Structure formats: C-alpha cells, structure tokens
Amino acid sequence: MSKKIKIGTVGIGLMGSSIATCLLASGHFVTALTNNIREKEGAIKRIDEFLQQLKAEELIDEEPAEVLKKLHITDQYSALKDHAVVIESVVENITEKRKVFAQLETVLTPDTLIGSNTSAIPVTLLQAEMQNPQRLFGIHWAEPAHLTRFMEIICGDQSDIQLAEKFSRLAESWGKEPSLIRKDIRGFIANRVMYAMLREAFYLVENGYATIEDVDRSLRNDLGYWITFAGPFRFMDLTGIPAYLAVMNDLFPDLCNDTKVPATIERLVKEGGKGVRNQQGFYTYSEDTARHWEKLFMEFSFEIRKLAGKYPQDAGEHI
Ligand SMILES: NC(=O)c1ccc[n+]([C@@H]2O[C@H](COP(=O)([O-])OP(=O)(O)OC[C@H]3O[C@@H](n4cnc5c(N)ncnc54)[C@H](O)[C@@H]3O)[C@@H](O)[C@H]2O)c1
C-alpha cells in the first residue's frame, strides 16, 4: 500500500488525536470522523501541539501547518467512502463500537480494512454483527500513539490472517513494530504480562516485603534496563537458559495467583485517586511536581524512541 493512501479515523478524543497525528506524520491524508463536531477545534489544537513536538525532535521534516492541511475533520460517514483503512477509537463500549461498524459498512467497500482501538473488548464480539467481519481487527496502540513503536494487531474468530499481515506491513510504515495476536485473548500480550507483574508488585507491598519505592526501583533498574533492547525470550537466550528453568521450578509455586483485585488500589480509587492527573496517587505530588513528572515522561518518550530505533528487534541479525 502506498504511503499516501487516505486513512479514516473515528473518534477524535485523546487517543483518536494521537493516532491521527501518527498517520499524518507518516504522510497519509486523514479523514477524522466525530459525532460531536464541536470537538473539532480542540482536536486540531492537540494534533498541532503533537506535530510541533515531532518537528522539534526532528521526527518530521514538514512544517506542522503543512501537515495539518492533510487533516479533514467531519461528522459525515460518507466522507470515508473511498478510504482503504479506517481506525475506530470511540468510547470503550461494545454497543457504541458496533453501531460505528454498522454505519461504516454502509459506505466502505468490503475490502476496506477496519481497526478497532479497543482496550479489552474481545474482537470476536465486535465483529459478530458485521457484514464483512473478516476485515476487522483489534489495533492496540500505546500512548503517546504518535511516538511509541508498540502495536498489537488482534484477530477475532472471523478475521482473515492475511489481511492482518497486510495491516501489519502498513503499520511498519508508521514507525511501529507490530505484534500479531492470531487468536482472540483478553488483554492481548503486553497487558497480560504487565498485569501479572502488577499483581506480584501489589503482593510484595501489601504483605510488607518491600515498599512501593523499592519495588519501583528494582523494576526500573532490572527490567527497565534491558526490556527495550530484548523481549523476555531474547533475554533468556542472552543470559543463559538453564538457570531460568531452575528458578521456575522453585519460584512458580510461590508467586501470587490471587484473582481478587488488590485492596490498596481499590481503596485509592474509592478515595478519588487518579494519579498525577489530580495529584493523588501511590506517591504524593504538588501541582508543580505532577506537571514536571508529566513533562519528564514526555521527554523520556522521545529519548527512548530514538534509542529503540537504533536497536530494532532484528538488530543482531545485521552484522
Ligand atoms: N491502547 C491504549 O493504550 C488505549 C488507551 C486509552 C484508551 N484506549 C481505547 O481507545 C478508545 C478511545 O479512548 P479515548 O481515551 O480516546 O476516549 P475519549 O473519551 O477521549 O474519546 C472518545 C471519542 O469518541 C467520540 N465518539 C463517541 N461515540 C462516537 C460515535 N458514535 N461516532 C464518532 N465518534 C464517537 C467522542 O466524541 C470522543 O471524541 C477506547 O476504546 C479506549 O479503551 C486505548
């Protein structure tokens, strides 16, 4: 597929804006559909800011104002009719998403690929009422979507794996390193592994083995040191496999396997804790330190993207 194909997006909220930015920065013409045209000005402002950041970090050559000319925001489904790919990013609600797919299918040709940026709704359920369910995939982005290399492409029971591979190749041209999930599973890859880690982290804290600060410090300096370079399987290859088997034998029976959510997070959320957003999290913040953490995280995102770009997944194959 050519870089200049027109791509549609549906939903222009937080993720819809960063997804549109990613596509615009990759050279596509983007038609963004919203059911609330009053969101248009806010979305343009957000996308402009993202593009300014990309320009400042030399990740795009064109001026943001020029790139923005390739964006068209509309509330008319008919504006998407000749698009080869459409990415939905509306609220996380199965009825709402299904309604969007039904309306899309009235204007799109049967071969238009549709991606759904769902966090957790099984793709099989999303495609159940579609006329052409084989072209629907879950497309799991990580924020900020215009910077991260992460993408999971998820097949539902009726998805066509060859179309998923086509989607994957297209996503590579957006600077992504996509992973394909061949069978629908709740949480996909990264979230399943991350939530297993979160469960264990809460277990250690709630049972007095370590403080929140100590858990964070250990993980930043161990996992955080190597995980952008190598996934867990490459890492076992690099560091010697037999030791892992020995540790698995001893450790697996000892790991937390609770199915109940940790009391600490339940209490925090009940008390209104949202994290840096309202300065109420696992750590304490003032308004200034909260903003500073957000700013540093954005700076770090640019740095790690550059580093990851130097070491792609197949880096060791190129001698
Ligand atoms: N992958 C991730 O890391 C990640 C992170 C956050 C959210 N998400 C998922 O992305 C999706 C969007 O999340 P968000 O945080 O951007 O939400 P949001 O509330 O910021 O934006 C939702 C947008 O959808 C629009 N919308 C709602 N119904 C619509 C319809 N019928 N037609 C057109 N537009 C409609 C709203 O007007 C709004 O612009 C959700 O499914 C969410 O679970 C994924």
Closest approach atom of ligand 1 to CA 92: 41
Instruction: Let me know if residue 187 belongs to a domain.
Output: no
My answer on whether 221 and 248 are in the same domain is yes
| Ligand 1 pocket check for 92: Cβ under 6 Å | yes
Task: Return the residue matching tokens 């809460």.
Answer: 202
| Ligand 1 pocket check for 117: Cβ under 6 Å | yes
| Ligand 1 pocket check for 139: Cβ under 6 Å | no
Ligand 1 centroid, distance to 6 Cα (angstroms)? 21
Regions in the chain scoring below 50 on pLDDT: 2
Inter-residue contact 138 to 115 (CB < 8 Å): yes
Instruction: Let me know if residue 293 belongs to a domain.
Output: yes
My answer on whether 29 and 167 are in the same domain is yes
- Among 11, 22, 187, 246, smallest CA distance to 114 is for 11
User: From edge to edge, which strands make up the β-sheet containing 177-181?
Assistant: 71-74, 29-33, 6-10, 85-88, 113-116, 136-141, 150-155, 177-181
pLDDT for the residue 113 = 98
Token representation of residue 159: 């998805």
Where among 181, 208, 223 does a domain terminate?
181
What is the distance between the alpha carbons of residues 32 and 40, in angstroms, rounded to a whole number?
9
Q: What is the CATH number of the domain that holds 43?
A: 3.40.50.720
| Ligand 1 pocket check for 141: Cβ under 6 Å | yes
What is the distance between the alpha carbons of residues 290 and 284, in angstroms, rounded to a whole number?
9
| Ligand 1 pocket check for 121: Cβ under 6 Å | no
Ligand 1 centroid, distance to 119 Cα (angstroms)? 10
pLDDT tens readout for residues 12-40: 999 999 999 999 999 999 999 999 999 99
Residue type, 6: K
Ligand 1 centroid, distance to 213 Cα (angstroms)? 33
| Ligand 1 pocket check for 91: Cβ under 6 Å | yes
User: Do the strands 136-141 and 150-155 form a parallel or antiparallel pair, or are they unpaired?
Assistant: antiparallel
| Ligand 1 pocket check for 88: Cβ under 6 Å | no
Where among 154, 181, 208 does a domain terminate?
181
Task: Return the residue matching tokens 């806010």.
Answer: 42
Ligand 1 centroid, distance to 97 Cα (angstroms)? 10
User: Residue 76: what are its φ and ψ, rounded to 5°?
Assistant: -110, 115
CB atoms within 10 A of CB 79: 17
DSSP string, 144-190: STTT--EEEEEE-TT--HHHHHHHHHHHHTTT-EEEEE-S--TTTTH
- Among 179, 101, 103, smallest CA distance to 134 is for 101
Closest approach atom of ligand 1 to CA 16: 16
Our CA angle for 149, 151, 157, nearest 5°, is 165
My answer on whether 218 and 124 are in the same domain is no
My answer on whether 165 and 269 are in the same domain is no
pLDDT for the residue 1 = 52
CB atoms within 10 A of CB 104: 22
Inter-residue contact 108 to 133 (CB < 8 Å): no
My answer on whether 21 and 168 are in the same domain is yes
Domain residue limits at 118: 6-181
My answer on whether 299 and 230 are in the same domain is yes
pLDDT for the residue 119 = 87
Hey, which of 44, 88, 89 would you mutate to test ligand 1's pocket, going by the most ligand atoms within 8 Å of its Cβ?
Answer: 89
Instruction: Let me know if residue 188 belongs to a domain.
Output: no
SS3 of residue 226 by DSSP: helix
Q: What is the CATH number of the domain that holds 242?
A: 1.10.1040.10
My answer on whether 276 and 210 are in the same domain is yes
| Ligand 1 pocket check for 262: Cβ under 6 Å | no
Hey, which of 37, 47, 90, 153 would you mutate to test ligand 1's pocket, going by the most ligand atoms within 8 Å of its Cβ?
Answer: 90
| Ligand 1 pocket check for 35: Cβ under 6 Å | yes
Our CA angle for 243, 244, 247, nearest 5°, is 85
Ligand 1 centroid, distance to 100 Cα (angstroms)? 12
DSSP structural state of residue 69:
T
My answer on whether 300 and 197 are in the same domain is yes
pLDDT for the residue 259 = 97
pLDDT for the residue 305 = 87
| Ligand 1 pocket check for 13: Cβ under 6 Å | yes
My answer on whether 153 and 217 are in the same domain is no
Number of domains, the chain? 2
What is the distance between the alpha carbons of residues 105 and 130, in angstroms, rounded to a whole number?
8
* Sequence-ordered alpha helix ranges (H) in the chain: 14-25, 40-56, 64-68, 94-107, 123-126, 161-172, 190-206, 212-221, 223-226, 232-239, 241-251, 263-270, 287-310
Closest approach atom of ligand 1 to CA 141: 1
My answer on whether 59 and 119 are in the same domain is yes
Instruction: Let me know if residue 1 belongs to a domain.
Output: no
pLDDT for the residue 57 = 87
Instruction: Let me know if residue 113 belongs to a domain.
Output: yes
Instruction: Let me know if residue 226 belongs to a domain.
Output: yes
What is the distance between the alpha carbons of residues 39 and 292, in angstroms, rounded to a whole number?
27
| Ligand 1 pocket check for 140: Cβ under 6 Å | yes
DSSP structural state of residue 134:
G
- Among 129, 71, 124, 140, smallest CA distance to 101 is for 129
My answer on whether 165 and 245 are in the same domain is no
Instruction: Let me know if residue 112 belongs to a domain.
Output: yes
Where among 127, 157, 181 does a domain terminate?
181
My answer on whether 308 and 171 are in the same domain is no
Instruction: Let me know if residue 186 belongs to a domain.
Output: no
Ligand 1 centroid, distance to 91 Cα (angstroms)? 4
